[in-house]
Amino acid sequence: MEFTLEEEQNDKISFLDFTIIKTHNGLSFDIYRKPTTTDIIIPKDSCHPFEQKTSAIRYYRDRLLTYRLSPECRDKEKETIKQILANNKYDPNHDIPEHKRKGKQNLNIHKQKKKWTKFTYVGKETRYFNKVFKDTNVAVAFTTNNTIGKRLSKEHNTQCKYEKSGVYQLNLPRL
């Protein structure tokens, strides 16, 4: 691990995912995105569970609501979120519904230690398994076959390492 020292520039310094701005009235905050950040989230038409598709959207919304942003920064962030939604086939003007949390019902089931099982998510039909296990001590987790490893590599029956495709590391000299 390598530690670096960041110094403020133009009365600003970035820390984690926000920028701290020194003003004559004190401090103000803005959302910080690294220069390498893209606007790619799981697209709406992807075959992923709803919770996985909307997790980034919920994160962006929660961050917008909890950080003390100036009105200008808040408006700029709202526009950025709308652009991310539009680029990933979501309706930027439609509020994505929050995932409903379970209330105090079935409290006795939640006190027991749950056993977990996983199913490959293949579409809405996979939700049937949640209903089957609803009143049991078994919780269902969904996985997908749409992983970056499967996207970037192909399986070969050959043993020659130069004929395999995939991601390779390049060690470049530092400038």
CA 51, 35, 153 angle in degrees (round to 5)?
Answer: 60
Residue 35 binned pLDDT confidence (cut-offs 50, 70, 90)? confident
**Over the chain, what is the mean pLDDT?**
78
For 11, the token pair is 């009365």
How many C-alpha atoms does 132 have within 13 Å on its Cβ side?
Answer: 8
Q: What is the pLDDT of residues 98-137, one digit of tens each?
A: 444 444 444 444 456 778 888 887 777 777 777 777 788 8
For 80, the token pair is 């950025």
How many C-alpha atoms does 163 have within 13 Å on its Cβ side?
Answer: 6
pTM of the model: 0.58
Whether 46 has a pLDDT exceeding 60, the answer reads yes
